[in-house]
Amino acid sequence: MLCQFSFKNFKSYRDETVFDMQATDLSEFADSIIECSKASRLLPVASIYGPNGGGKSNLLQALACLVSTVVHPIHELQKTRTGIIVQQRVSCNPFLLNNSSRNEPTEFLLYFRINSYEYRYYLSLQNDEIVSEILDRKKIGGKRMAHLFSREGKDIKLGSSINRVSINRTVNPKMTYLSFLAINYDLEAINDAQKWFESCIIQNYGNPVTELYMMLSDNLAIRERIIRVLNDMDIDISGYRYDDDQKQLVFQRNINGNKYELPYEDESDGTKKIIVVIPLILMALNEGRLLIVDELDAKLHPKLLRYIISIFKDKNINKYGAQLVFTSHDIITMRSTVYRRDEIWFAAENECHESELYSLYDIKNEHDDGVRRKAKYDVEYLEGRYGADPYLNNMFKVGGW
């Protein structure tokens, strides 16, 4: 599970930026929180809003960059430990609108939990080479981090738990040491960290191979569940198959006792998107994975978006701590009946064209009062009260509007 992610000098983000999935002390939707008796509670959902070009996608890209930097070499050498990997390589580019930052490294800091441990992973990259790297972990609920390894340039130091004479301390400068250890050794602490990175699902609509793999699973229970969820979303298919001639999925419907088939390409854009994303949602829920989707709401009816959010917040369905992080422009869904205040985030550029990130929970007025629980988030957002101006105010001030 993702606890907290911070980064610096990545694309439109120049300064240190913190994205936190740890639940605050808010009382709303208390029954949806991922509980941990010995550590901070975690959020099952986070949605990022803001204007086009504000930095929403770049936040997800930053996390995807870190994840793919670790996983890509492992996957290339076929040393993965997770059955299905849903990721794509994301390049690391610094903030270019500043003469200093463009020549400085990009930094990432990640806290995550897997099994009974919480990990802290730091990575600094510049020109695709590793500047520095640190991996620590502690028992969930513990107070002190145990050092696993640190790397500064070519200098690598191992913590006592993995310190072996046989472990090589020479590694390609473009490969993370975490990846190197995962590829070459069988170390419990490294294996767990590797599995967490591999389990992150980063949706790429241009690469449907994994979704197809899930749809055509030999597990009838999985296929039946996919159909059931699609039916819950008013997509009334009775079955599907893969047509070898057309090289695509064909969906079946029963109408007045007759069976009809419709190729995937003939389905509506909204239905296509649901068909692509549902297998990944089920994978996340079944295995407790983190699902990252850019513009989840695009081409979806607001009721479908609410349905997807609701199943991640329902502990009877989300039994293993799956998390959903996505960007959205869907203002209709930005309501207190859907989200906690700490589940809504905003990304926007400042006057220096640097992206800034903050949550609805962080917003305070001149009296240091936060946004009220029963406030009309969508209305106040459109009025520009939350800072991430969705452009509407400026548009209406232009002559002719």
Residue 22's Cβ-count burial label (10 Å; 0-12, 13-18, 19+) is middle
> Whole-model pTM?
0.91
For the stretch 204-226, pLDDT in tens is 654 555 556 667 777 788 888 88
CA count, 13 A, side-chain hemisphere, 255: 8
Tokens of 252: 């079946």
Return the CATH number of 2-200+289-393, one of 3.40.50, 2.30.30, 3.30.420, 1.25.40. 3.40.50
CA pair distance 118, 115, nearest whole angstrom? 8
Tokens standing for residue 126: 């510049």
| pLDDT number for residue 376 | 93
The SS3 call for residue 47 is: strand
pLDDT of amino acid 315 = 95
**Above 70 in pLDDT, residue 390?**
no
CA distance 208 to 148: 37
pLDDT of residue 400: 42
Query: What residues have CB less than 8 Å from 22, skipping those under 6 apart?
Result: 3, 4, 40, 41, 42, 43
Query: What integer pLDDT is reported at residue 62 of this predicted model?
Result: 97
Report, as an integer, the average pLDDT of 291-313.
Answer: 90
Say what the pLDDT of residue 398 is: 45
Domain residue spans of the chain: 2-200+289-393, 209-277
**pLDDT tens digits for range 342-364:** 999 999 999 899 999 999 999 98
Residue 255: count other Cβ atoms within 10 Å of its Cβ: 9
Question: Rounded CA gap, 180 and 92, in Å?
Answer: 19
240's tokens: 């599907």
Report pLDDT digits (tens) over 217-260. 777 888 888 888 888 888 888 888 888 888 888 888 988 888 88
Give me 4's structure tokens.
Answer: 């907290």
> What is the per-residue pLDDT across 72-131, written as a single tens digit (0 to 9) for each?
999 999 999 987 788 888 999 999 999 999 999 999 999 999 999 999 999 999 999 999
26 and 33 in contact (C-beta within 8 Å)? no
